[in-house]
Amino acid sequence: MSSPDLFYLAPLQGFTDFVYRRCYQQLFGDIDEYYIPYIAAGSGSKIRNSQFREILPENNGQLLVVPQILCANGEETKQLAGELRNFGYRKVNLNLGCPYPMATNRGRGTGLLENPEKLKEVLDILFGEFDFEVSVKFRAGLICEHTIFDRLELLGSYPFRKMIFHPRTANQLYKGTANRELFARLASMSQHPLVYNGDIQSVSDLDEIKRQVPNQNEWMIGRGILADPFLVSRLKGHLPNQATQRDMKWQFHEMMLESYRQIFPDQGQVFEKMKAFWSYFQRVLPTRTKLLNPSKKPEI
């Protein structure tokens, strides 16, 4: 008998913040783990307030969350992991997949994947100086999609809780399609539990991956859930009727809006937060009405 599918919310900066996570869990509740968008050492080695807010225990309540760190070396690793330990976290995810130049040019994200010496330095500290259950999220490489196979021996020498693979290169960003054949190849070689991430939008997407990797049952989804909050319900086969969906969409929107109003006193801040939410959510609204008009801020 096959194991049940497990679904994880991807950590997307500016989108899956603690407001989104709490509202989604309260209304839909079908995610097995929520991955918190990364924290990183900013100016003066300080974590930005917007990132620090995400890891505060009071902002995550009873959610099953996994914080993520974005680092380039051992010093940054110690700082970030130390903050998480101080808050009592037992799990941490290492970001080797951020594709944006602002990270990779500093040796972070996929940039760290390209540097085996620095990567080993980071992993030795995470596993040697801390008592976390460590998972890792990565892409195939910065430019070459075979880089990950050159790192597999190094990664395989550490007891990762799980490995999350988005089979694109960093320079693709989110263009083109995720290379599912690449994932299948890695799955045949990896000794760790492997999570698939990238372009999951329908039941047929899961079925296609399972044809290539029959025992695959762990999935991380980001943009697909942002665009369709009922996606996991579809994948699990218990989609509500149309009337219920319509009511829940409206309720989700109002919960998000009211939550941001309570946090941010400035209407402009609320608008910017809701604009990010609308950029995906408007795709599942029952009308074709445009929510976003860059020339005018709506009264919210």
Residues tagged active-site? 98
The three state secondary structure string of the chain is CCCCCEEEECCCCCCCCHHHHHHHHHHCCCCCEEECCCEECCHHHCCCHHHHHHHCHHHHCCCCEECEEECCCHHHHHHHHHHHHHCCCCEEEEEECCCCHHHHCCCCCHHHHCCHHHHHHHHHHHHHCCCCEEEEEEEEECCCCCHHHHHHHHHHCCCCCEEEEEEEEHHHCCCCCCCHHHHHHHHHHCCCCEEEECCCCCHHHHHHHHHHCCCCCEEEECHHHHHCCCHHHHHHCCCCCHHHHHHHHHHHHHHHHHHHHHHCCCHHHHHHHHHHHHHHHHHHCCCCCCCCCCCCCCCC
Backbone φ and ψ of 165, nearest 5°: -115, 120
Backbone φ and ψ of 107, nearest 5°: 80, 20
Residues annotated within a binding site: 68, 137, 166, 222-223
**Among 3, 44, 4, 17, which residue's Cα sits nearest to residue 222?**
17
Residues annotated within a binding site for FMN: 68, 137, 166, 222-223
